[in-house]
Chain A
Amino acid sequence: MKPFVPMAVVLTLASSVAADAQTRPARPAPRPRPVVAERVFLSVNGVFQAGSNDFRDTSTFRENVEDGSLSTDYSVGPGPAFDVSGGVVVWQRLAVGAGITRFSHSTPTAVSAAVPHPFFFNQPRTVTGEFSGSRTELAVHLQVRGVFPLSNRIQVAVFGGPSFFRVEQAIVDDFDFTEAYPFDTATFSRAMSRTQSESAVGLHVGGDVAYFFRPEVGVGVGVQYSGATVQMTLPSGSSDVKAGGAQVGGGLRLRF
């Protein structure tokens, strides 16, 4: 056997390395990465839905052997909403869950009509009035959530998924007016409405930052966009009406 390096040298080097290892100061142990220890989480939020989902409808009607028109401007403005969501971590930082958002708001509706004159063609009377209706949106969200603990106390989450909207809207179908001879003017007396409920599938995406002042209890703030387009049957026919919007809010965070 003709070794290239003498065996004694190898052994010497080996013992030297071992001795060196024993004498140098130890490296600091790597800090343990925060882990998602709790598997179930729950959020309860008061939120504010920003933006508006105003819509307008113009229809025609027959009165005094002539076509009249009815225009309704629905003002669906921003307002408070209530949001609850929860889920379970299914793998490392990935969770699945569900949420529900309820938004209810009055929808002041401007009613404007051109009512044909009983005696003359092309001399409509303008009738204007107000109707106070309401809009209720109930959205059920199925979500996939990424949970990223920044520390044991602070946790960031992003989420998204499909949303199932149920929208109830007061729709003005008709109106009453008063008139008297010579019928050159007419006065709005009341709007006749119905409540229409329609469903649609939309989506939602959002993010959340939570601070846990106890291991299982914390507070958080979040932002979410959830939206859908529902088809409403308006006096003029079927029409797309938007629901949802950007929501910001905060509330209680629980994890178990």
Chain B
Amino acid sequence: MKRAMAMAATGGALLVSLEVGSAQQASTLRFSATTANELRLWDGYVTSRARAGDLRVRQVVRDPSLPSRTIERLQQYSQGVPVWGAEVVRDLERGVPLSMFGELSAQPDVDPRPGLDADAVERLLLSREATGAVLLRLAELVILRLETGQHRLAYTGVVSAAHRVFRVFVDASSGAELLRYSSIHTQAAIGTGRGTIGDTKKMATVLQGGVYLADDQLRPPVLTTFDMRGNLPRAVQIVEQGAPLFLSDIAADTDNDWTDSAVVDAHAYIGWTYDYYFKRHGRRGLDNLDRPLVALVNGVTQQAAVTLPPELLDWALNAFWCDDCGPGGLGLMYFGSGIPSNYTFFGQNVNYLAGSLDIVAHELTHGVTSSSSNLIYMNESGALNEAFSDIMGTGAEYFFQPVGTGLGQADYLLGEDSFRTPGGGLNGIRSMVDPGAFGDPDHYSKRFIGTFDNGFVHSNSGIVNHAYYLAIEGGTNRTSGLAVQGVGSANREQIEKVFYRAFVFMLPASATFATARAATIQAARDLYPANGAVATAITQAWTAVGVN
């Protein structure tokens, strides 16, 4: 309990407020002295405390606007330990005080002997942060006044980790964290941006140093989009060799009205995907612990892409998640920029890959898989891995976008907003409705076997994708001719949850399609009535695609 007391002195002009913590009798002494009487009173007090060693001059500066003035800052000490934030500022002219402002802690009753040494505390501070954390300020012993009014002997240091810089205070005996606050003075902001298909989105950004950065301060995890500005060698170094990312690498805009559509779509859609997982599945990001979400865009410009050697084409025409890439094995997503609109790749125009929500959610889902079932990225488990990314990508599309076949609309095509077929042909790169439309199998009997593409993981995923589609929409498998009674599009959430539960919580790393069938049926029974419509739809769907 706190009680506040105001005491008038020197004709009522001087107010001293004391906030007294009843338990420890700790208090804060605030004063401001600007009149002769006040200054006489408080200068005497400060001088006496300084002689006793309780106040020590920390800084003496001159104010250029008033050259005759000298500003003294006196730091409060208690038993030789500085009291954090407790100081007196004295404005002097030829040694005569003209104003004084103070905020002191009265009698901090703290044992000044720490139980931990500074080295141990520094190790402790680093161990609690993400890989690659560094101490920008070494641990120093202070007395910290808590919000309760109590004082604690603490160590404080400044830690930089995952693009955040915090001042952290820990108890000098137990090491328990007492307080932390950001040392970077920023202001969360909302901007707008124009995406690849010409739509306008909101951008969660931060204003720092007069520039807006694509660094989302509103969602729980670190969510930062880096702009490689067409510097492919540097992008490669960062992704493949763990070269460091700097503040200057973060995508920036001067007026928070963003025009770089790759940045806009990557940054917004990663946020949307985080939201989809949180709202639909109650998941907090990649590892359910708000692992940082780092994305790289513009590794190569569209124009430069046409001159890339084949081995580097992925940097233009693909998107990927790499769990162990980036500085300190941070893990990151990369989105290619595509190629100029007058070029085609396998008969399709390729625009920014970040411009498709399902592609972004697909890549982020690889991070989810890495943190959960960690399905081995080859053969059937690899195809399951790919399929789960497609399924969640499609789920995110239907969660946020209106149903339809146009740009920015939800459908069962993958990547259709980025891969466009001139002349009105089939857009995208995969179809859940008809995998065969892109040459992918829709039935287990048609699966590809071989070593290409890690055992055709991007093709054989079509079998699983089609089962997912049939479980929702129902229909007949073209190969088996077996019909499925789907749950209906209004109940798609049920099938999404079944697949999420099975693929995140139930599948072993080397799962086969048959395992996936059993796990999803079990998940359906776990979540919904055992022999209800959901379990029936899932069972029929797997049977229809030949997975038994």
Contacts and interface: CB of A to CB of B under 8 A. Distances in A.
B547 interface: no
Contacts of B191: 65
Interface residues of B, number: 15
A64 B220 contact: no
Given A64-B190, A65-B191, A65-B192, A121 B202 contact: yes
A183 B190 contact: no
A119 B220 contact: no
A65 B201 CA distance: 10
A120 interface: yes
B349 interface: no
Interface string B159-195: 0000000000000000000000000000000111000
A181 B190 contact: no
Interface in B276-294: 278-279
Interface string A107-128: 0000000000111110000000
Interface string B296-324: 00000000000000000000000000000
Contacts of A66: 202
B519 interface: no
Contacts of B454: none
A182 interface: yes
Q: Pick the most buried of B202, B220, B275, B278: most chain A CB atoms within 10 A of its CB.
A: B202
B202 A65 contact: yes
B202 A119 contact: yes
Contact of A118 (B202, B220, B279): B202
Interface string B405-441: 0000000000000000000000000000000000000
Contact of B200 (A64, A117, A121, A184): A121
Contacts of A65: 190-192, 202
Interface string B78-89: 000000000000
B204 interface: yes
B204 A181 contact: no
Nearest to B191: A65
B271 interface: yes
A120 B218 CA distance: 13
B2 interface: no
Contact of B271 (A64, A119, A121, A184): A119
Contact of B218 (A118, A121, A184): A118
B219 interface: yes
Nearest to B278: A182
Interface in A159-207: 181-184
Contacts of A119: 202, 204, 218, 271-272, 275
Nearest to B218: A118
A121 B194 CA distance: 13
Contacts of A121: 200-202
Interface in A101-149: 117-121
8 interchain residue pairs of minimum CB distance = A64-B190, A65-B192, A118-B190, A65-B190, A119-B202, A181-B220, A118-B218, A182-B275
14 contacts: A64-B202, A65-B190, A65-B191, A65-B202, A117-B202, A118-B190, A118-B202, A118-B204, A120-B202, A121-B201, A181-B218, A181-B219, A181-B220, A183-B218
A120 to B, nearest CB: 6
Nearest to B190: A64
A217 to B, nearest CB: 50
A65 to B, nearest CB: 5
Contacts of B200: 121
Interface of A: 64-66, 117-121, 181-184
Contacts of A184: 279
A18 B185 CA distance: 120
Interface in B252-292: 271-272, 275, 278-279
A182 B218 CA distance: 9
Interface string B46-57: 000000000000
A121 B190 CA distance: 11
Nearest to B275: A182
Nearest to A119: B202
A184 B399 CA distance: 14
B280 to A, nearest CB: 11
Q: Pick the most buried of B190, B191, B279: most chain A CB atoms within 10 A of its CB.
A: B190
A183 B271 CA distance: 13
Given A65-B190, A118-B202, 7 more contacts: A64-B202, A117-B202, A118-B218, A119-B271, A181-B219, A183-B218, A184-B279
A121 B201 CA distance: 7
A170 B181 CA distance: 38
Contacts of B192: 65
Q: Pick the most buried of A119, A120, A182, A183: most chain B CB atoms within 10 A of its CB.
A: A119
Nearest to B257: A65
Contacts of B204: 118-119
A120 B204 CA distance: 10
B187 to A, nearest CB: 14
Contacts of B271: 119
A120 B401 CA distance: 11
A181 B221 CA distance: 11
A182 B190 contact: no
A120 B268 CA distance: 10
A120 B278 CA distance: 16
A121 B271 CA distance: 14
Nearest to A63: B190
A120 B400 CA distance: 10
B215 to A, nearest CB: 14
Contacts of A117: 202
Contacts of B202: 64-66, 117-121
Contacts of B278: 181-182
A64 B201 CA distance: 11
A5 to B, nearest CB: 110
A118 B272 CA distance: 12
Interface in B128-157: none
A118 B219 CA distance: 10
A65 B218 CA distance: 15
Contacts of B220: 181
Contacts of A181: 218-220, 278
Contacts of A118: 190, 202, 204, 218
Nearest to B400: A120
A148 B419 CA distance: 95
Q: Pick the most buried of A66, A117, A182: most chain B CB atoms within 10 A of its CB.
A: A182
A181 B271 CA distance: 12
B256 to A, nearest CB: 8
A86 B460 CA distance: 99
A18 B378 CA distance: 148
A153 B331 CA distance: 99
Contacts of A64: 190, 202
A181 B201 CA distance: 18
A181 B200 CA distance: 22
A66 B275 CA distance: 20
Interface string B32-71: 0000000000000000000000000000000000000000
A118 B188 CA distance: 11
Contacts of B275: 119, 182
A7 B272 CA distance: 131
